[in-house]
């Protein structure tokens, strides 16, 4: 009898944790294809203010129907990468269909180097990290730096993505010599000479709001209060388009 009661209590706790509260944003978190500080990213995703997160791998995401994603989720957070194989046409269609359905998307860190041979993906995300194996012009080759501690400047303090954020210090991995679409709206910057000045931006693609945030690789980012607020703000901002 005692064991049965404990089982019932545990099941109730699990059910309450998996249910989206009325005031929470429902977010699909897609990850895979590259190493990162996995447990810490998952903990962060599950503890963002006002966010209910369902975490899936790339393969699961590709099997989901666009209509089901649209119906269940307000936004999608991507920390995934495919830089070694040509992307299947139906996988490409999923990204574009989501944007046409107005499902907001937030892309983190190495998503910028994904899909090196698919130009429209980089139109969607608003920029590109140029891989050496796919770029003949050496002057375009992008760079990366790990374990850097940088001063982060909030460029637009009136934007919803940066609401409540002051300039902050962040230790993480950063990129240099990236391409950024000149039409995007810059949100965050840093002044390190080797790192691209703008490290976060916002724009729209088809009917969807899009945010890209360069840092997002290590525990140092995932446990940084300013970074967590940034991610939460970004998801709420893009998610409003799907409500």
Q: Is 186 exposed, middle or buried (0-12, 13-18, 19+ CB in 10 A)?
A: middle
Residue 121 φ/ψ, nearest 5 degrees: -60, -40
Give the angle subtended at the CA of 86 by the CAs of 101 and 89, to the nearest 5°.
Answer: 35
**Spatial distance between the Cα atoms of 105 and 163, rounded to a whole number of angstroms:** 18
**Residue 10 counted as domain residue:** no
Q: End-to-end alpha-carbon separation of the chain, Å?
A: 45
Q: Domain span at residue 51? A: 24-242
pLDDT in tens, the chain (243 residues): 444 444 344 334 433 445 666 679 999 999 999 989 999 999 999 999 999 999 999 999 999 999 999 999 999 999 999 988 888 898 999 999 999 999 999 999 999 999 999 999 999 999 999 999 899 999 999 999 999 999 999 999 999 999 999 999 999 999 999 999 999 999 999 999 999 999 999 999 999 999 999 999 999 999 999 999 999 999 999 998 555
**Residue 17 counted as domain residue:** no
What domain count does the chain have?
1
Q: Which residue has the tokens 């691209």?
A: 196
**Residue 132 counted as domain residue:** yes
**Spatial distance between the Cα atoms of 223 and 230, rounded to a whole number of angstroms:** 12
**Residue 129 counted as domain residue:** yes
**For residue 14, what pLDDT is reported?**
39
pTM above 0.85, yes or no: yes
**Residue 35 counted as domain residue:** yes
**Residue 183 counted as domain residue:** yes
**Residue 11 counted as domain residue:** no
With beta carbons less than 8 A apart as the criterion, state whether 185 and 212 touch: no
**Residue 12 counted as domain residue:** no
Three-state SS for 113-124 is HCCCCCHHHHHH
Residues 6+ apart with CB under 8 A from 34: 80, 81, 110
CATH number of the domain at 164, please: 3.40.50.880
């Amino acid at each position: 009898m005692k064991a049965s009661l404990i089982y019932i209590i545990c099941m109730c706790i699990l059910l309450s944790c998996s249910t989206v509260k009325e005031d929470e944003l429902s977010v699909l978190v897609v990850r895979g294809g590259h190493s990162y500080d996995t447990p810490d990213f998952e903990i962060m995703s599950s503890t963002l203010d006002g966010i209910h997160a369902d975490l899936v791998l790339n393969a699961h995401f590709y099997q989901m129907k666009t209509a089901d994603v649209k119906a269940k989720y307000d936004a999608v957070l991507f920390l995934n990468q495919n830089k070694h194989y040509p992307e299947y046409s139906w996988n490409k269609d999923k990204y574009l269909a989501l944007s046409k359905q107005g499902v907001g998307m937030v892309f983190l860190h190495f998503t910028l180097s994904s899909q090196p041979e698919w130009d429209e993906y980089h139109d969607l995300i608003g920029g590109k990290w140029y891989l050496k194996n796919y770029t003949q012009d050496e002057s375009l080759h992008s760079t990366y730096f790990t374990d850097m501690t940088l001063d982060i400047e909030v460029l637009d303090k009136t934007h919803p993505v940066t609401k409540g954020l002051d300039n902050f210090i962040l230790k993480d991995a950063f990129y240099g010599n990236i391409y950024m679409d000149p039409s995007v709206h810059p949100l965050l910057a840093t002044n390190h000479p080797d790192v691209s000045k703008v490290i976060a931006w916002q724009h729209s693609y088809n009917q969807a709001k899009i945010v890209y945030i360069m840092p997002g690789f290590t525990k140092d980012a995932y446990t940084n209060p300013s970074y967590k607020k940034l991610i939460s703000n970004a998801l709420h901002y893009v998610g409003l388009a799907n409500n």
